């Protein structure tokens, strides 16, 4: 159910039947509207039991999101907008982004290489020049 993206993240499709939505009153600007409507959105997904991740993606996501999980459940809360619909969209985007980034494989291991002969010579020449500059500053001129 996931596809590889060009940025190193995997592209996910959240299964609607596994999402748990909760709505509550949001703080902040909005006047009387804030006191009457449930615009804050909390979206939860059980990472440990979801069907959208393969076993290796799930293990990687559980390990990387460990600090944010409560019993294997990831919760995202959004109250940025005064509209519940917009907050729902934002929550879905944030959840997808978090999971895809956490489930993506890490960078390739670095292959050790030796510096080239020319780069070693450039480094030594620069050191010699710098040494000459410092040595010329410390000489006393006896007139």
Per-residue pLDDT at 42: 92
pTM greater than the 0.75 cutoff:
no
Instruction: Determine what percent of the chain is predicted with pLDDT higher than 70.
Output: 84
Mean pLDDT of the chain: 84
Contact 124, 76 (CB under 8 A): no
- Per-residue pLDDT of 82-99, as tens digits, reads 888 899 999 999 999 999
Domain ranges of the chain: 3-103
Q: Tens of pLDDT along 3-45?
A: 444 456 677 778 888 888 888 877 766 666 666 677 889 999 9
**pLDDT at res. 90:** 93
pLDDT band at 126 (very low <50, low <70, confident <90, very high): very high
**Are 22 and 104 a contacting pair, CB within 8 Å?**
no
In tens, the pLDDT along 49-90 reads: 888 888 888 898 899 998 988 888 999 999 888 888 899 999
Question: Regarding the domain delimited by 3-103, which CATH topology (the fold level of the hierarchy) does it fall under?
Answer: Double Stranded RNA Binding Domain (3.30.160)
Distances, alpha carbon 46 to alpha carbons 50, 75, 76, 90, in Å? 6, 9, 12, 19
Dihedral (CA of 6, 7, 10, 13) sign: negative
Question: What pairing do the DSSP bridges indicate for beta strands 10-11 and 3-4?
Answer: antiparallel
């Amino acid at each position: 159910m996931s596809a590889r993206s060009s940025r190193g993240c995997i592209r996910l499709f959240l299964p609607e039947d596994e999402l748990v939505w909760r709505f509550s009153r949001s703080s902040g600007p909005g006047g009387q509207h804030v006191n009457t409507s449930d615009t804050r959105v909390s979206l939860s997904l059980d990472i440990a039991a979801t069907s959208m991740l393969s076993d290796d993606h799930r293990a990687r996501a559980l390990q990387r999101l460990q600090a944010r999980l409560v019993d294997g459940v990831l919760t995202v809360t959004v109250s940025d907008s005064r509209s519940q619909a917009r907050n729902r969209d934002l929550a879905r985007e944030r959840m997808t982004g978090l999971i895809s980034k956490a489930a993506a494989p890490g960078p390739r291991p670095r292959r050790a290489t030796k510096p080239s002969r020319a780069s070693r010579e450039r480094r030594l020449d620069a050191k010699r020049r710098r040494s000459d500059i410092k040595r010329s500053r410390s000489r006393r001129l006896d007139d």
